[in-house]
Homo-oligomer: A and B are copies of this chain.
């Protein structure tokens, strides 16, 4: 099985980046696309995110070997329903959603006869919309495939090959485990960042201007994450509720223990944790998942 045409439903950061990455890495694959927002379709045409931007989802997926739904996870069911009548019999249907159990259920319900291989490229930026996409978004990032147990193995292999061609590394995992792992590495970090940015802007005794001015002390990193797409993230938390609440419970316990250590002046407990977490950073860099330069290289353009 070889993929010769891809239809992308939803032309924001992820959908647009897939289109651009296909053009760069697999120029022989034909690309079509659709977005329900006419303005996004217009901009996608100008930016040439895909070869053909269609005005209906049915037109976009017609004859496509692979269809990738790139919409917020809460909109997956509707997007799948919109293409149900137009899919080719052999088409693989996939997605890029950040939670996988709920999406798997929604797609199976909307497309009972289709070959569905859910996936999640762990890549993105805080920006959204068609202008935000770029071809290198997936370079050296992981794309997690969560095929159902009875999935067609050739279809799984074809999808993995597609993502590898775009520069990603692939990993097969069951959907429930994906949802727990991503709750730790993505969902809770976003929830915490949104929270602290909200907390800071609500304080009576500290002005908003002070929060901005002195943000280089650490806070500014959180503002980047907390600038992520609100609809996408609302849907992530609603759709991955159980895993998010589970990990949040662990985090709160750990935070409470540190709070107690601060209150009682227990410096050893603080130091032990702070010394331990350094090693994780080193491993993240060694695994190629972040920039080695101090402060993400922020100072480099002024460094002397």
The interface of chain A, by Cβ under 8 A from chain B, is 20, 24, 74, 98, 122-127, 132, 134-137, 139-142, 144, 171, 177, 180-182, 184-203, 205-206, 208, 210-228, 230-231, 233-235, 237-238, 241, 244-245, 247-248, 250-252, 254-255, 258-259, 262-263, 265, 267, 270-271, 273-278, 280-284, 287, 289-291, 294-299, 302-304
Contact = CB atoms under 8 A, between A and B. Distances in A.
B199 A254 contact: yes
B284 A220 contact: yes
Contact of A216 (B218, B271, B277, B289): B289
A31 to B, nearest CB: 16
B193 A126 contact: no
Contact of A219 (B171, B189, B212, B265): B189
A195 B259 CA distance: 10
Given A136-B302, A224-B290, A227-B280, 9 more contacts: A125-B294, A137-B299, A180-B206, A185-B210, A186-B218, A191-B255, A194-B258, A216-B289, A230-B275
Contacts of A280: 197, 200-201, 208, 211-212, 223, 226-227
Contacts of A187: 217-218
B198 A210 contact: no
A200 B185 CA distance: 8
Contact of A192 (B192, B234, B245): B192
A80 to B, nearest CB: 20
27 contacts: A140-B302, A180-B205, A181-B211, A182-B217, A184-B199, A184-B200, A184-B206, A186-B218, A187-B217, A189-B218, A198-B273, A201-B276, A201-B277, A215-B290, A220-B284, A223-B277, A223-B280, A230-B274, A234-B267, A234-B270, A235-B267, A238-B265, A238-B267, A241-B263, A290-B298, A296-B298, A297-B297
B230 A304 contact: no
A26 to B, nearest CB: 14
B281 A226 contact: yes
B214 A250 contact: no
A198 B195 CA distance: 19
Contact of A214 (B144, B283, B296): B144
Contact of A181 (B126, B134, B180, B210): B210
Contacts of A298: 290-291, 296
